[in-house]
Structures are given as C-alpha cells and as structure tokens.
Amino acid sequence: MDFSVKIGTLKERKIRVSSNQTTSFLWEGENVLSTPAMISEMEETCRLLLKQQIPLDPEWDSVGTVVNVKHLAATPVGTEVVLKAKVIGVEGRRITFEVEASDSIEKLGEGIHERFIINIPRFRAKFDEKQKRLTEKAKGMDKEK
C-alpha cells in the first residue's frame, strides 16, 4: 500500500461548539469548549487530512498516538471554531502534524499531534486477542476471591 503523504499538506475545517463539547463544572448552564473536545476535533481534522491523502480503501485508517497540545483560551457554545492541521513529518506510516484551533477573536489551542496509519482488520484482530486475554485474566482473578 502506498502512503505518499506529503509534508506541508494542509487541512482546515470549521465546527460550531455544541453543549456536549463543554465543561460542566465552572457554572450552571452551558460552559466553554473543553480541552478533551478541542483535542478530539484536532485529531479528527488530522484523520480527515490523511483520508484525503491515502488511497480510498476501507481497510486503512489512522489512530492517534501522541498529543501535545496547549489550550490557550476559552470559547462558548455556539461559536464557530476553525481547526487547522499541517503535516510536518512523515516516517513510514507515522505522520506528525502541527495543529491549531481558533475562533474569530483568538487562538484557542495549538500543538503537535501524531497519527499512525493502520490496517483495520489487523488492528482489530490484535484488539480482539487482547480483549480475550483480559477477559480470561479477569475470570481468573474472580476465582481467586
């Protein structure tokens, strides 16, 4: 499989902050875009960039492996956020991105994200095997009690 992802490739997308992407502990009612939600949207932007670069094959996708992001500013529900991803490194199937999130006033977050291109059937087989082993181990621990 050819994964010719080019350094410098850019992806930009816009989202509108929804109430299910916010913190719930600051004050009553809708709050601000949470750090995990912002990072999730940054990751998805990178994933979509890769989906545009790699051949359309349902057996291949990518998973996040490294996140190093600073959350710089708060933004409320209903705000449009622009997410940007830029490929800054390619090492085989390991791709590194520079990521950024901004609203119309300021930069909300920035950082580095790394993804690894995976073969879904192989990934799933390894996952299923691990799940089986964990279940067997948990059953063994229950018997010891």
27 or 59: which carries more pLDDT confidence? 59
Query: What are the tens digits of pLDDT across the range 79-120?
Result: 999 999 999 999 999 999 999 999 999 999 999 999 999 999
Q: How far apart are CA 137 and CA 123, in angstroms?
A: 21
Helix, strand, coil content of the chain in percent (nearest 5): 30, 40, 30
- Return the C-alpha torsion angle 12, 41, 101, 115, nearest 10: -80
Angle subtended at Cα 36 by Cα 83 and Cα 31, rounded to the nearest 5 degrees? 90
Please report, for residues 25, 117, 125, the alpha-carbon distance to residue 122 in angstroms, rounded to integers and kept in the order given.
Answer: 40, 12, 5
Task: With cut-offs at 50, 70 and 90, classify the pLDDT of residue 19.
Answer: confident
- Give the residue extent of every domain in the chain: 10-119
The CATH topology of domain 10-119 is Thiol Ester Dehydrase; Chain A (3.10.129)
